Chain A
Amino acid sequence: MKALQWQGVNELAVGEVPDPQIRNSGDVIVKVRQTVTCGSDLHLIGGYIPFMEKGDVLGHEFIGEVVEVGAEVQRHHVGDRVVVSSFIACGKCWFCRQNLFSLCDNGNTNPAITETLWGHAASGCFGYSHAMGGNPGSHAQYIRVPFADVGAFTVPDAVSDERALFASDSASTGWMGADLGGVQPGDVVAVWGAGAVGQMAARAAVLLGADRVIIIDRFDVRLHQAEKYAGAETLNYEHDDVAGELRERSGGRGPDVCIEAVGMEAHTPGVQFRYDQLKQQLRLQTDRPAAVRDAIHACRKGGSVFVLGVYAGFVDKFPLGALMNKGLTVRGAQMHGQRYIPMLLDRMARDELVTEHLATHVMPLDKAPDGYRIFKEKRDDCVRAVFLPN
């Protein structure tokens, strides 16, 4: 079958790979209908996460049709249209029972790398390096889905492929940021990053009853989308005094919940960016945490910061003093899709959550290398590139 493969740093190509197989009795094989780029893929492509092998298949956010089921699969049948959580979870371990599915003990076939790096291993993910299990990703005609009864969800007829696709990861991630960040009715919420995940976080905060939701970015097309589809106020950090506006719009208190949806390749104007970029290029730090620093600085005393952006290792100049002395709660996670996808699909069916506008560029899988160039460079107002493998 055809698949988009990582061939080296900043080298992608569509090639032929073996078809996936049922390896455990709880697996299904899914024929991929739509699969979408994610900002975190750029960290793999750019070599910032050094656990890729030549030939790895990318992609972790997808929707498709079940074409084969393992002997012990109970909830799915051939022909079902399913959206699949990007993280793989067993549903039985203590973490899954706590609804912390991306922390599953049994979903990563290669746990030693992250156990060594981080102290304990996170679960496995589709198409996200050998540190996360080395599972072939969804930018392919077919994909093997382990623990399918737990991680694959039948899509209601009322929800289109284009809308349900984003339940796989972006909408789940964004919702988690608002939910586990503790958004309450009446809160002022600030979101850094108006990409797909940031827009979903902003929309979730609105639906959870926040009084004001303010989203920050530098690309006007994304800010306009957030205003129109999420119901958020917007700030452009290249023109606006973000810190001053956040303080004023929260009555001088600072936002109650700050959600960072930018990740390890954060951009920011001025000396801070040049410092972080240089240290990252010299591999003296692995991640650029500018947006997290800003969120910690802006957050009200005793407030909450949730880190949704993907980070891999270590950062410099982390404002631990601000965190500690302001009494903040800082939390982060990879998305617990299994916790949120059913609810998100219901909201999508009721038109409370709209996502189709995020798919600004749609193309056949053969064009995926070009699609990632457009996506990375944000050319032509690209927000997300969707590939159609079949």
Chain B
Amino acid sequence: MRRSTWLTFGAAGVGGLVATRAVVGRRGRAVPAASRSAHAVTVARPVDYVAAHMPEELADGGDAVEVRLREAPGDRGTEIHVRRANDEVSDDDIREALRTGKSRLETGDVLQPGVATTTPTMLNRGLRAVTRRGRRKGLL
């Protein structure tokens, strides 16, 4: 995702809805409204904390994404909603950013896989490809 100072937050009272939109002029091809895909994850942190500690992978969206924060009901923390505004980023990029961003906000880190002990074979090629892809896609 492109780096820019794009995140701004409206006043966020407790229980209030915080909305942001990209403020830089549009670059890239806009995604037609009918095909935009929205992604969301809930982080077990208060809205103020998430706004103040937004991880790099979620903050560097540029005008390619729209990010909205919302207090989750029932003391569950903060909902982070991300929608693609153009085709500069993919849904997979967003999903990965939300998964790793959530982990950083909750634990301060992202769990890394252990040292590999396995051997590539014809039989496990498919599973290895799925695992490589699976380590990018999020908990969405």
- The reply on A388 being an interface residue by CB < 8 A is no
Q: Interface on chain A toward B: helix, strand, loop, or mixed SS?
A: loop
Contact A25 B118, beta carbon cutoff 8 Å: no
Q: Smallest Cβ distance from A30 to chain B, in angstroms?
A: 13
* Residue from A20, A25, A112 within 8 A of B115 (CB atoms): A20
Secondary structure at the B interface, as helix, strand, loop or mixed, is loop
Of the candidates B106, B128, B136, the one whose C-beta lies within 8 Å of that of A106 is: B106
Q: Which residue of B lies closest to A120 (CB)?
A: B139
Q: How many residues of B contact A (CB 8 A)?
A: 35
Complex Cα gap A57–B99 (Å): 27
Which of A88-96, A229-237, A376-384 forms contacts with chain B? A88-96
Whether B114 contacts A92 by the Cβ 8 Å rule is no
A130 touches B127 (CB 8 A): yes
A121 to B103 CA separation, bound complex (whole angstroms): 14
Residues of A within 8 A of B84 (CB): none
The digit string for A20-54, where 1 denotes a CB below 8 A from any CB of B, is: 11011110000000000000000000000011111
Known: A111-B134, A113-B134. A54 touches B119 (CB 8 A): yes
Shortest beta-carbon distance, A74 to chain B, in Å? 13
Q: For B135, what are the chain A residues with a Cβ–Cβ distance below 8 Å?
A: 109-110, 112
Known A93-B44, A97-B44, A109-B112; judge A56-B107 contact (CB<8 A): no
A53-B119 contact in complex given A97-B44, A112-B137, C-beta closer than 8 Å: yes
The answer to whether A105 and B134 touch (CB under 8 A), given A17-B117, A21-B115, A55-B119, is no
Counting chain B CB atoms within 10 Å of each CB, the highest count among A107, A115, A135 belongs to A115
Tell me whether A115 and B114 are in contact (CB under 8 A). Answer: no
Cβ A90 vs Cβ B107 within 8 A: yes
Q: Which of B89-140 contact A (CB under 8 A)?
A: 99, 102-103, 106-107, 109-119, 121, 123-124, 127-128, 130-131, 133-140
Whether the Cβ atoms of B76 and A111 lie closer than 8 Å is: no
Indicate whether A92 sits within 8 Å of B44 (C-beta atoms), given known contacts A23-B112, A120-B139: yes
For residue A303, CB closer than 8 A to chain B, the reply is no
Chain A stretch 91-145: residues in CB contact (< 8 A) with chain B = 92-94, 97, 105-107, 109-113, 115, 120-121, 124, 130, 133-136, 144
Q: B109 touching A26 by the CB < 8 A rule?
A: yes
> Which residue numbers of A lie inside 8 Å of B, CB to CB?
3, 5, 8, 17-21, 23-26, 50-57, 88, 90, 92-94, 97, 105-107, 109-113, 115, 120-121, 124, 130, 133-136, 144, 146-147
- List 5 A-B pairs, minimum CB-CB distance, nearest first: A112-B134, A55-B118, A53-B118, A23-B112, A17-B117
Given A92-B106, A93-B106, list of 20 further CB < 8 A pairs? A3-B117, A8-B123, A21-B114, A23-B114, A24-B110, A53-B118, A53-B128, A54-B123, A55-B119, A56-B117, A57-B117, A105-B106, A109-B113, A110-B135, A112-B135, A113-B130, A113-B131, A120-B139, A124-B111, A134-B131
